[in-house]
Every structure is written in structure tokens, then in C-alpha cells.
Amino acid sequence: MRKSEIIFLGLVLLSFLMGFYFYPQMPERVASHWNASGQVDGYMPRFWGVFFMPFMLLGMSLLFIAVPRIDPLKQNIEQFRRYFDVFIILVLVFMIAVYLQTILWNKGFQISLNVTLPIGLGLLFYYTGILVENAKMNWFIGIRTPWTLSNEVVWDKTHKVGGRLFKIASLVGLAGVFFQPYAVYFILIPVLFVAAFTTVYSYIAYKQL
């Protein structure tokens, strides 16, 4: 296994250890979902409230480990593999941070997700831009439209534009900290715009060729 993959699984193990440590301290009904205003609107039984996230991280990690091995264009993934590996580590660290915040919320340390999510996702979006800018054509990672997957020039042009847009989206997301009641919109709207714009852009770039 690669060192990065060992780190993936090490972070998953850390999440399970956190779960085992905090499990006896959790209430029977664990707050597990918050609405756009940052108010709790969903609960889970204690077991799933504590261990749902570690099991999800395990599944995500196994998928991330499998993707570079099963992609028909795996040789292309190897060209930007270090960016992909760092991205996965950042995703797992972000998810563990959210998990810890959920646990602390249920212990009475209630810091609003509308403060922490814009910061965490803003930073993650910025690195997503770096990853996208460096991604080579493959079937699993990047902006995959019928047109980017049909032409390598279209792939490269779309990903250069998409990378810059993700970096801009990260700044908009970070601004959500200052508008907490609307933080979710500062996160979602830029990402939806990037997805829609790059899809249309890839089509136009393909037609131009």
C-alpha cells in the first residue's frame, strides 16, 4: 500500500477510537442533523449517532483506494496522484473535524456549524481547485461530462477554468462566516454555479473544436 493509503486508514481508525471513547458519554438520542439556520432538526439512536460517521469514512476510504486501481486510465491518475492523495486526506480530516464537533455538541459545547462549515469547506474548495487544475483525463476524478471525456483538449481547457472557479467559490464560501444565517447559501450556490458553468463550457469548447 502507498503511504497515503495508510494515512487514509489511520484517520478512519482514529474516528473509530474517538467513537469508542465518547460512546459512554453520549445521550440515548444523539443530535445528528442541523438545518440551514444551524438548529438541530434530526436525531439518531446512540449507536448510529456515534458510529455512522466512522463507518462512512471507512467506506469512503476503501472507495478512494480502489479508484486509482480500477480506472481504465489509471496511468493518467498517476500523473496527478499526489494532488489526489492530499485531497483525500483533507476530506477525511474535514469529516473528522465535523464528527468531533457533533460529539462536542452533544456534550454541551455547542459551536454553530454555520461558523465552522464555511471555513472548512472554503479551504477544501480551494484545494479542489488545485486538484482540478492538475487532473488528467480519467473516468472518476474531475469534471466528467460527455465532452470532456471525448476530447483531451476539452478536458484540459474545462479543468483550467473549473480550477479557477473553485478557488473563487472557496472565497465566497469563507465569506459565509460573516453572514451565518445564510452560510449554507454561500456554500451551495457557488458550487452549483461551478457545476453548471463548467458543463456548459465543456459543451461549447467541444463544439468549437
pTM listed for this prediction: 0.93
Cβ neighbours for 44, distance < 8 A, ≥ 6 positions apart: 29, 30, 32, 52
Each of the 209 residues of the chain gets a pLDDT tens digit; together they read: 899 999 999 999 999 999 999 999 999 999 998 888 788 989 999 999 999 999 999 999 999 999 999 999 999 999 999 999 999 999 999 999 999 999 999 998 988 889 999 999 999 999 999 999 999 999 999 999 999 999 999 999 999 999 999 999 999 999 999 998 899 999 999 999 999 999 999 999 999 98
According to DSSP H, which parts of the chain are helical?
3-22, 46-70, 74-77, 81-106, 113-134, 152-175, 183-208
Would you say 18 and 100 are in contact if contact means Cβ atoms under 8 Å apart? yes
